[in-house]
């Protein structure tokens, strides 16, 4: 009775230790969570957001009215003393048009802020994918280190009894040493990729931080996605028909930051042109107050009213009006050029996306299963004495190369998504 109880106690202790170890691991991070964290923590993006407050302050400045002036006009010879207020009245709707200019500039700030977030999103996607693929490469090299070490041990034993020649053992030793070097290189690549992502997140990532595979897409309006479980291989879930090129180009014309900025600049140019024309209308300056005349033997208290206005003879805002008119023509040409550029950028990004997707499918459907099957057959052939130790080693290396090619395909696919997001001007 004592032995089963002791065995059960040991199992309980082992389970508790395993649970504590799992509890120490941070939760699995997803790409969306990383992008959200970067949006909260990245100080460069927060600095861009702070520009919105500056724009609001500029609107407040544009709404300000001119302050009245206290005027004192005293004549000793004439014995007159005046004390009054002077107020300049802006005519021609200058204040209203000035506010409209400031509000459009605020919209321009919002557009540039959105562009900064898109840049941050693309940077996080690329850094996240680089870390994920680096971790997977490290695991791949760990597997080949274990496999070559096991094969080296078997080869040494078989060489001792004379089943295989010494050259096979040396070949296995070289393969084991190379795998150790590759594993060390992969380790440093993981450190570099983790630092790159941590810099964008403005938060150091734990070396034990697990990452979910980067998803291929997320916008249901344009495509159909499949739910992926963390740790599963990336599934190419987008069909060519679902990702309509015409819709993508149409969307790019609507939301591409450069086009939005050009359109807003065109509106801003029209508003500035209208403001320049209003500035041709002179402002009216009025002053009024008591007028005291202190002559010998008598004092008279009157009221004075003075009006003043510039006469627009020489300066009729010719320069600002000509400048804004020329800028308006320039912006229209710029928009046409941008549309042509965006069209081909979307087409190229769409083509690269479809090609990378097909490459991933080919790896998952054919290359990876075939390479794994070859490893199994090569190991069986060696165990049965039908081939040398180099056969399973070469097969294992070929499988690792195929696996690394698959990881590169994942990285290229995420780069294609980033290029497509950049070409369209919004996240997908």
Domains and CATH numbers, the chain: 26-223+238-424 (1.20.1600.10)
Tell me the pLDDT band of 228, cut-offs 50, 70 and 90.
very low
Q: What is the pLDDT of residue 108?
A: 92
Q: What is the pLDDT of residue 390?
A: 81
Higher-pLDDT residue of 238, 92? 92
Write out the two tokens for 140: 């791949």
Ramachandran angles phi, psi of 285, nearest 5°: -110, 120
Distance CA 51, CA 3 (A): 72
Distance CA 362, CA 339 (A): 35
Write out the two tokens for 114: 């959105």
Among candidate residues 273, 310, 303, the one with its CA nearest the CA of residue 289: 303
Distance CA 404, CA 300 (A): 102
Mean pLDDT along residues 196-215: 92
Q: Which of 88-97, 187-196, 234-243 has the lowest mean pLDDT?
A: 234-243
Higher-pLDDT residue of 325, 75? 325
Measured CA distances, 58 to 83, 99, 350 (Å)? 34, 9, 41
Q: What is the pLDDT of residue 238?
A: 40
Q: What is the pLDDT of residue 197?
A: 95
Tell me the pLDDT band of 381, cut-offs 50, 70 and 90.
confident
In the chain, the percentage of residues whose pLDDT exceeds 90 is 44
17 pLDDT higher than 60: no
CB atoms within 10 A of CB 416: 22
Q: What is the pLDDT of residue 196?
A: 95
78 pLDDT higher than 90: no
Tell me the pLDDT band of 243, cut-offs 50, 70 and 90.
low
Mean pLDDT along residues 61-67: 91
Q: What is the pLDDT of residue 194?
A: 95
123 pLDDT higher than 90: yes
Measured CA distances, 391 to 148, 175, 208, 383, 405 (Å)? 12, 12, 35, 11, 21
Q: Is 299 helix (H, G, I), strand (E, B) or coil?
A: strand
Tell me the pLDDT band of 24, cut-offs 50, 70 and 90.
low
222 pLDDT higher than 50: no
Distance CA 428, CA 76 (A): 79
Q: In 163-317, which residue ranges form alpha helices assigned H by DSSP? A: 166-201, 245-255, 257-278
Higher-pLDDT residue of 369, 154? 369
Q: What is the pLDDT of residue 12?
A: 56
Higher-pLDDT residue of 264, 151? 264
Write out the two tokens for 17: 């230790």
Mean pLDDT along residues 181-195: 93
Q: What is the pLDDT of residue 231?
A: 33
Strands (E), 65-122: 69-75, 80-89
Residue 136: CA atoms inside 13 Å, Cβ hemisphere, count?
Answer: 26
Q: Which of 4-8, 57-61, 155-159, 296-300 has the lowest mean pLDDT?
A: 4-8
Tell me the pLDDT band of 75, cut-offs 50, 70 and 90.
confident
Write out the two tokens for 163: 């089943």
Q: Which of 90-94, 169-173, 203-207, 233-237 has the lowest mean pLDDT?
A: 233-237
Distance CA 199, CA 42 (A): 8
């Amino acid at each position: 009775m004592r032995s089963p109880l002791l065995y059960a106690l040991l199992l309980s202790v082992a389970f508790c230790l395993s649970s504590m170890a799992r509890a120490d691991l941070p939760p699995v991070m997803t790409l969306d969570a990383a992008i959200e964290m970067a949006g909260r923590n990245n100080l460069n993006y927060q600095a861009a957001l702070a520009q919105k407050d500056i724009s609001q302050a500029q609107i407040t400045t544009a709404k300000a009215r001119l302050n009245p002036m206290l005027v004192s006009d005293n004549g000793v010879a004439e014995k007159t003393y005046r004390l009054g207020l002077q107020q300049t009245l802006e005519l021609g709707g200058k204040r209203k048009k000035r506010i409209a200019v400031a509000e459009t500039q605020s919209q321009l700030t919002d557009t540039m802020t959105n562009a900064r977030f898109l840049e941050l999103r693309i940077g996080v996607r690329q850094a996240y994918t680089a870390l994920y693929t680096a971790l997977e490469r490290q695991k791949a090299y760990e597997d080949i280190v274990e496999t070559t070490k096991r094969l080296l041990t078997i080869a040494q034993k078989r060489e001792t009894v004379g089943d295989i020649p010494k050259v096979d053992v040396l070949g296995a030793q070289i393969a084991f040493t190379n795998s150790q070097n590759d594993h060390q290189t992969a380790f440093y690549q993981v450190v570099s990729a983790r630092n790159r992502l941590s810099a964008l997140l403005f938060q150091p990532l734990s070396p034990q931080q697990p990452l979910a595979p980067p998803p291929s897409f997320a916008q249901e309006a344009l495509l159909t996605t499949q739910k992926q479980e963390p740790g599963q291989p990336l599934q190419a879930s987008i069909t060519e028909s679902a990702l309509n090129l015409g819709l993508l180009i149409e969307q790019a014309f609507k939301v591409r930051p450069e086009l939005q900025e050009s359109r807003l600049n065109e509106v801003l140019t029209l508003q500035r042109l209208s403001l320049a024309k209003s500035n041709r209308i002179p402002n009216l300056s009025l002053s009024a107050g008591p007028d005291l005349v202190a002559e010998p033997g008598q004092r008279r208290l009157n009221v004075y009213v003075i009006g003043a206005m510039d006469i627009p003879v020489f300066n009729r805002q010719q320069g600002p009006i000509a400048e804004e008119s020329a800028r308006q023509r320039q912006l229209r040409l710029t928009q046409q050029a941008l549309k042509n550029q965006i069209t081909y950028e979307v087409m190229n990004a769409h083509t690269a996306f479809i090609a990378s997707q097909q490459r991933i499918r080919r790896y998952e459907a054919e290359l990876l299963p075939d390479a794994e099957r070859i490893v199994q057959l090569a190991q069986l052939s060696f165990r049965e004495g039908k081939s040398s130790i180099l056969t399973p080693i070469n097969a294992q290396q070929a499988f690792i190369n195929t696996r690394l090619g698959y990881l590169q395909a994942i990285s290229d696919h995420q780069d294609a998504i980033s290029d497509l997001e950049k070409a369209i001007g919004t996240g997908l």
